[in-house]
Amino acid sequence: MRNSTTLLRSGPAAAAAAALALTLAGPAAAAGISVSTTGSTVSVSTTACTQTNGQWGTASLLGSGQASFSQGRQVALSGTASGQSAAWSNVTPGTYTVIVMCSNGNTAGTQSVVVSSSPSPSVSPSASPSRGVMGGIGGGSADYGTVTMVAGGALVGAGLIATAWYLRRRGKPRHL
């Protein structure tokens, strides 16, 4: 019976966590654009734009120092009613933001992309061009060598030994 009580208590928490995950994923999933890289070429595709006056819209590739749509490298969207696309070639490695503006003035979406010097694709969906803190488990900011790892292990070991010694000494009765 105890297991069912635990399940009943964790059920609402799991449902809330799932709802939060869907809510947070919503803006990225509903962005309306898909960005990819191949080597030094960045491509964007969308189905969100409608043709107005013979044009689908414009896509802009913003570098790190550029803040507005008009400051980036602009390319006209081409395609059909089932999908539009644009591409930029000879893009130098770095972090960029792709913004697609439909011809009716609506923004189809915004997405950050990392262009690396290797030919492997790398896409990073985001609502802003800021990369922020890149967290992780171990080595999130640097690749530590053997000496650093051994020194850290020695410090942890010394701390464990000192804690055990202190607790053992504290447990003995004191005699005058």
**CA-CA distance, 108 to 26, in Å (whole number)?**
15
Q: Note the pLDDT of residue 155.
A: 94
Same domain, 67 and 106: yes
Task: DSSP for 113-140, please give it.
Answer: EEE-SSSS--B---SSS-------SS-S
Same domain, yes or no, for 38 and 83? yes
Instruction: Specify if 87 maps to a domain.
Output: yes
The answer to whether residue 45 sits within a structural domain is: yes
27's CB contacts (< 8 A; 6+ apart) are: 127
**What pLDDT does residue 66 have?**
75
Residue bearing tokens 């043709």: 51
Residues 80 and 55 in one domain: yes
Residues 117 and 96 in one domain: yes
Largest Cα–Cα distance of the chain, in whole Å?
Answer: 98
pTM comes to 0.49
Q: Which domain holds residue 70?
A: 31-130
Residues of the chain above pLDDT 70, percent: 62
Residue with the two structure tokens 């053997």: 146
Give domain status of residue 169, yes or no.
Answer: no
- What is the pLDDT, as a whole number, of residue 154? 95
86: left (phi over 0), alpha (psi -120 to 50) or beta: beta
**Residues 63 and 85 both lie in one domain:** yes
At 66, is the secondary structure helix, strand, or coil? coil
Q: What is the CA radius of gyration of the chain?
A: 26
Per DSSP bridges, beta strands 41-46 and 73-76 are unpaired
User: What is the structure's pLDDT at 162?
Assistant: 94
Q: What is the pLDDT of residues 116-172, one digit of tens each?
A: 865 544 555 545 445 555 555 554 555 667 888 888 899 999 999 999 988 888 777
Percent of the chain with pLDDT over 90: 10
Q: Which of 27, 37, 26 is nearest to 61 (CA)?
A: 37
Residue 33 in this model has a pLDDT that exceeds 80: yes
H helix or E strand, kind and range, residue 86: strand 83-88
pLDDT tier at 39, thresholds 50, 70, 90:
confident
pLDDT exceeds 50 at position 80: yes
Region 24-31 average pLDDT: 40
Cα pseudo-dihedral 74, 75, 76, 82, rounded to 10:
-120
Asked if residue 6 and residue 61 are part of one domain, the reply reads: no
Say whether both 70 and 118 belong to one domain.
yes
Residue 41 lies in a domain: yes
